[in-house]
Structure 1
Amino acid sequence: MKLEKILDKLGSIEKNSFIKIIDNIITKNPKNGKEIDKILSSSDKGLKSVDNQNISNVFALTSNEFQEHIKCEFQEITSQLDILIDIIIRDGNCIMKQDWFSRLYETEIKNLKAKIKGLNSDFDNDKSELSAIRKRDYRIYKSCLQTAYQNDIANNRDAKITSDELSIIITLSKELGLSQEEVKLINYSILPIKKIDIQEVIKGLKNIGVIFFSNKENTIYVADEMVRLLRKVRKKEIATKFYRRTLKLLREPIINQIGREHNIDRKLSYAQKIEEIIKEGVSFNNLLLEDIYKPGSTLTEKKKTLNELCEKGLNISNLKGSTLGDKINSLVEHFENVERDEKVGISLDGFDKLLSELNQSLPKLNKQIKDQFELQDEFVLKADFLLDYNIKPRDILDLILKEDLTSFIKDNGVKQRGDDILNILEHYKDVENLYLENYENVAYRNLNLLKENGITVKESELGIKFEDLTKIIFQGLGFNVDDTFKNNLNTKKDMIDILLNLENNEIIIVECKTSKEKGYNKFSSVSRQLKSYQNLALKNNFRIVKILLVAPEFSDDFVTDCEMDTEMNLSLITASTLSNILEAFKTSKYNEFPHVLFRDIVINEERILKALSK
């Protein structure tokens, strides 16, 4: 769930700890101080008095400093912060009831203790599957950590690992190629694990700003933006779902090779070994730099293997970068962009239909998804529910066994040639709704994002497509979009985009403008065009109730020019505002949108959404 949406759910006291930390960062002259000052300039009382959208914007501008703040907390070695963060950043753990979190925490402690016991046994057992080289790596790391921890005790000070010591220890673990799970096990074999009261755990995480806790709902919330930040702190480059997607493309001998390197039981099934590699916290970068290649592979062979993995397996063509490291960074960046994008890849209606038909064909899927993502609800195959957890259609399909996918495809008339998952997504796409969900991307003429979201369209068609979608939105708002009336009125010189017929010779004129550039800034040309339409309508004895200009956004100069215009009853509305108004209208009491609400120069979205909710 996005930070802004979580903040909307909470009271001021529940946001306090988070806001205090950001306020503290702001006082220390952060890197993006000027941009932050612009956001806060309209507020006398600082961050507390700005709206939740701007709090979210300020957090984005202070994310680097916030990340450093979290890193500092790791010096308190008894905090169990590594254990706790690893729980809350797992796919599906961003919304949890307190008792569910408590259960996950207890299970984690129990599993860790069992694994530590097993690791200590492997140390002492000459016949264990641990190679002599791996035992040596473990001993080196353990000895260095023990020294860093115990040298304070020897000098009659509280045991503490300083930031300098911590940076050396982290570098050492990286050079030895240890996974996060291996590091964690060795750490807690030196520092015994003590179960902390769950109230104290929640209080500690809330005080450092990484979670929110709603007292009313007894629920923990971790914002999507915070999850991404915490993953960086834990050196986890991508979300688990993308890691799993990549691993499932590898042949079993390669999975065994990775498992052998990180002390994973090779007797497990293929799927179980993949899950264990993920749980081990094996670095995605290291995996693609070294672990997935045959021994002795040349750099050229490694690049070829990685390119084939991306192009044929992940359907990502033209991976940027000349070096292997650059290509891996490009892949990580691609996954980050997919995760940040709120679009689903198919329409919401299509997602719901897909889940319903999956549930009919694969009755065990609900439990599988519930267990995989550690979800508390009994029935989880609901589109809105899963999207709150940032779980999308592709993430669900990635978990289904190939034979089950094949059976589902046959049962539901999905195309059988080509990639199974892509064929299923195409089958449930629902193009009209998918375009509406990408309305703002069409407005911005953002071909790359449209393509990533499953829409293939020529750039030359985007203007017409934006106009068509705008018509659909106004029809959805209950207006009579009268093309016959408009065509009779239009001339070869004056071509109105959209005409809303309010009856009794009253009309609203709507003009649509797409723009790649930030801030639509062509008032002089568009005003001449609109005045020409106005004169055309007046000449035909129509009363113009309003002229609306829809664009992705408007520059300050454009808004000022519009405010100074005295000849037209013109209002400006952004594509995102119009889209959000439609969503709010669907659940309102109105059958037709009350057009009197279109009375601002720049349509105030918040005011209209409040009016619709009454």
Structure 2
Amino acid sequence: MKLSNVLSTVNQFEKSKFINFLDRICSEASAHDKELAKQFKNLDGQIKNASSGEVTQLFKLALPLYQKEVKSQLALSGAQAALLVNILSRDGNCVARVSWIEQLYAREWKQIDAQAKELQTFFTSTDKSDAYDEPKRLAIYHACLYEALHNDERVNREGKITDEERGILNVLAHKLDVTADNRVAIEHLIDPIPKTGVAECLNQLREIGIVFVSKKHQTVYVPDEIVALLHRIQSKELADKHLLRILRTFSDAELSNVLKNHDKRIRGVDREDKIDTVFKMGLSVSDILCKDMHNEQTALPERKDRLKLLIDDLQLAVNKLGSTLEERCSLIIQSLNSSAEHEFNILSATGYKSLFATLSQHMPKLPAMLKTEFELEPNQEIDVEKLRALAITPYDILFMLSNDQIKALKSEMCISRRGDARQVILESFADATDKLVENYEALARRDLAELKQKNIEIAEADIGVKFEEVTKAIFEELGLVVDEDLRRDINTAKDKADILLSLSEDDIIIGEAKTSKKGDFAKYSTTSRQVKAYVSRCEAVGKRVAQVLIVAPSFSNDFVESAEMDTEVNISLLEASGLKKILEAHKSRRNPKFSAKLFTKGGLLKADLIAKNI
């Protein structure tokens, strides 16, 4: 979830620690940062009263200093905080119940403790050995880490590893080829990680503005922006899901090359175990791409060509290829780190739901696979809204599956088009949405006969939901931001808004999509009560409702008059045929000029006039 959405979700008490931490950093930084000082002055120094958008803007301006302070605080927080941060910054854990985080922590602690005991036997057996093998290298790192932790005690100070010492140890680990899992296990041997106390440590992390904890729902939130910040502090070049995506495109020989370069066993190890071992080693992605995956005798031009092929395999849209090996490696990393928005936009909300439903139908175990892949709670319901909140894109799902599984899916779905199987599957769902958009008016009228004539099979009970989803798809094609995160946050079992369009960090349009089989839509009193409830819910989380927009096949005269005379809320009405006409005008222009403000005029909107002015 984005920071602005988290701020809108939690209450004032639950975001107070983050606000206080940001307030202190902004106060200190204002003296030498004119832009930040100006923004801070606009709030009169009262961040507590600022809107979610204003707080988010301040966070962006103060980010370098914020990151520096968080890094400093984490360095003083001990091994337990480091382990917890590692768990919270992993894919799928940015929104999770406290009890599930505690279970993940217990599982991780058990693995680290077992590995630490196994390494202990290494050190006792290598004391008299002269061989410079892995046990010897681990013993050297162990001795240096022990010295860094205990050298303070000689001058009567508490034993801690400073930020400078940590930097030196990281270089040493890299030169000695000590993998990330072994580093953690060795440190656990010297300075044991507490087995309990997760709740107290979460509060400690909350104090330094890393997490939000909802007491009511017992849920931990880590905004996407904070996850990215933590990755930078951890020197983590890519999110885990993106590293796995890369490894799954490698051949068996390339995976073996990576393992051989780090003295790991390859004989009798199957493909999945190779991927799992490389993933857990915590290697630099740059080193894997530039060096480890290639044979030693592979020439530079061949390595560059292999990265060019990898860019295609990962379906990355890059403007240039780069002339050097390092440039191509950097392009791959940058593209994956900034891919989320593009990957969500590749399918409309409707297309994503259809994709997930179809994949689940052909692969009933898909939800369970997602829970395993992204460490989701076993009893948690998996749907597209939940996946969006966890920043899990359609590409993440398809790249989670093996090439053989993808080919089998393509065949089962009767997709005959040639090309990359994953891309072809995605495009087929984009096409399905386009077909529904073409027949948007028939969908609005609930005209099953016409839809069937156009080879669109749909149950009558599903028409309302489909109309809502296609309306979202049209808004997205018009370049509007359909905010599914906010919609999920404000919806209750009783009040469920159809569509929320974000105009800015704080301003929104509430959209309602209404079908009608009997002709003109005429239920004003019922619709009015609904939208007013949604307005109240949005305002309660700090959003300003610029307009309510109702889309229907047509409206009765009484409905139009009632909407125009309503003094409590601003309502605009738009006929389905008019919205389709606006979309067609938008598509026909080379450089369309469309603004959501065209929907805020009130009353029955003149689609012809809007289409003409795009």
TM-score, scaled to structure 1: 0.70
The structure, 1 or 2, with the larger RCO (C-alpha pairs under 8 Å, 6+ apart) is 2
Q: CA deviation at 1:277?
A: 2.1
| 2:94 aligned partner, one-letter code | C
CA 1:44–1:156 in structure 2 vs 1: closer, same or farther (change >3 Å)?
closer
SS in 2 for 1:213: strand
CA 1:150–1:287 in structure 2 vs 1: closer, same or farther (change >3 Å)?
same
Q: CA deviation at 1:13?
A: 1.3
SS in 1 for 2:249: coil
What does 1:422-571 align with in structure 2 at a 5 Å threshold?
A: 422-429=423-430, 430-431=433-434, 436-440=475-479, 477-478=551-552, 551=594
In 2, the alpha carbon distance for the partners of 1:242 and 1:62 equals 28
Cα contact 1:6–1:223 (8 A) shared by 2: yes
Cα contact 1:243–1:278 (8 A) shared by 2: yes
Q: CA deviation at 1:221?
A: 0.4
Q: Which residue of 1 aligns with 2:225?
A: 225
Cα contact 1:356–1:381 (8 A) shared by 2: no
Q: CA deviation at 1:500?
A: 8.9
In 2, the alpha carbon distance for the partners of 1:8 and 1:389 equals 16
Q: CA deviation at 1:314?
A: 3.5
| 2:404 aligned partner, one-letter code | E
Cα contact 1:210–1:222 (8 A) shared by 2: yes
Cα contact 2:243–2:279 (8 A) shared by 1: yes
SS in 1 for 2:14: helix
Q: Which residue of 2 aligns with 1:171?
A: 171
1:572-613: per-residue Cα shift (whole Å, max 9, x none)?
A: x558xx6xx8xxxxxxxxxxx953999xxxxxxxxxxxxxxx
1:388-430: per-residue Cα shift (whole Å, max 9, x none)?
A: 1000111111122333322322222223522111111011112
Q: Which residue of 1 aligns with 2:22?
A: 22
Q: Which residue of 2 aligns with 1:110?
A: 110
| 1:477 aligned partner, one-letter code | V
Q: Which residue of 1 aligns with 2:291?
A: 290
Structure 1 residue ranges (4+ consecutive) displaced by more than 6 angstroms after TM superposition: 472-476, 499-502
Cα contact 1:178–1:282 (8 A) shared by 2: no
Q: Which residue of 2 aligns with 1:334?
A: 335
What does 1:398-409 align with in structure 2 at a 5 Å threshold?
A: 398-409=399-410
What does 1:356-435 align with in structure 2 at a 5 Å threshold?
A: 356-376=357-377, 378=379, 380-429=381-430, 430-431=433-434
In 2, the alpha carbon distance for the partners of 1:275 and 1:214 equals 34
Cα contact 1:258–1:292 (8 A) shared by 2: yes
- Where does the alignment leave 5 or more consecutive residues of structure 1 unmatched? 443-471, 482-498, 503-508, 515-519, 521-548, 553-572, 582-592, 599-614
Q: Which residue of 1 aligns with 2:158?
A: 158
Cα contact 1:7–1:52 (8 A) shared by 2: yes
Q: CA deviation at 1:343?
A: 3.1
CA 1:363–1:253 in structure 2 vs 1: closer, same or farther (change >3 Å)?
same
Q: CA deviation at 1:227?
A: 0.7
CA 1:391–1:113 in structure 2 vs 1: closer, same or farther (change >3 Å)?
same
Q: Which residue of 2 aligns with 1:85?
A: 85
| 2:305 aligned partner, one-letter code | K
Cα contact 1:550–1:574 (8 A) shared by 2: no
In 2, the alpha carbon distance for the partners of 1:304 and 1:436 equals 41
In 2, the alpha carbon distance for the partners of 1:47 and 1:82 equals 29
Q: Which residue of 1 aligns with 2:452?
A: none
Q: Which residue of 2 aligns with 1:44?
A: 44
Q: CA deviation at 1:251?
A: 1.0
Q: CA deviation at 1:476?
A: 6.3
SS in 1 for 2:15: helix
Cα contact 2:407–2:421 (8 A) shared by 1: yes
Q: Which residue of 2 aligns with 1:191?
A: 191
Q: Which residue of 2 aligns with 1:202?
A: 202
In 2, the alpha carbon distance for the partners of 1:140 and 1:153 equals 21
Q: CA deviation at 1:309?
A: 1.5
In 2, the alpha carbon distance for the partners of 1:18 and 1:351 equals 33
CA 1:245–1:476 in structure 2 vs 1: closer, same or farther (change >3 Å)?
farther
CA 1:265–1:227 in structure 2 vs 1: closer, same or farther (change >3 Å)?
farther
| 2:251 aligned partner, one-letter code | R
SS in 2 for 1:398: helix
TM-score, scaled to structure 2: 0.70
In 2, the alpha carbon distance for the partners of 1:387 and 1:335 equals 17
In 2, the alpha carbon distance for the partners of 1:414 and 1:229 equals 41
SS in 2 for 1:477: strand
| 1:595 aligned partner, one-letter code | G
Cα contact 1:212–1:221 (8 A) shared by 2: yes
CA 1:313–1:197 in structure 2 vs 1: closer, same or farther (change >3 Å)?
closer
1:257 aligns with 2:262: no
| 1:159 aligned partner, one-letter code | G
In 1, the alpha carbon distance for the partners of 2:105 and 2:220 equals 13
Cα contact 1:416–1:423 (8 A) shared by 2: yes
Q: CA deviation at 1:50?
A: 1.3
Q: Which moves more between the two structures, 302-311 or 375-384?
A: 375-384
How large is the RMSD of aligned CA atoms in angstroms? 3.6
In 2, the alpha carbon distance for the partners of 1:331 and 1:441 equals 29
Q: Which residue of 1 aligns with 2:603?
A: 595
SS in 2 for 1:343: helix
Q: CA deviation at 1:284?
A: 1.0
Cα contact 2:2–2:224 (8 A) shared by 1: yes
Q: CA deviation at 1:306?
A: 1.4
1:53 aligns with 2:92: no
1:309-345: per-residue Cα shift (whole Å, max 9, x none)?
A: 2134545455443332222222221112212558342
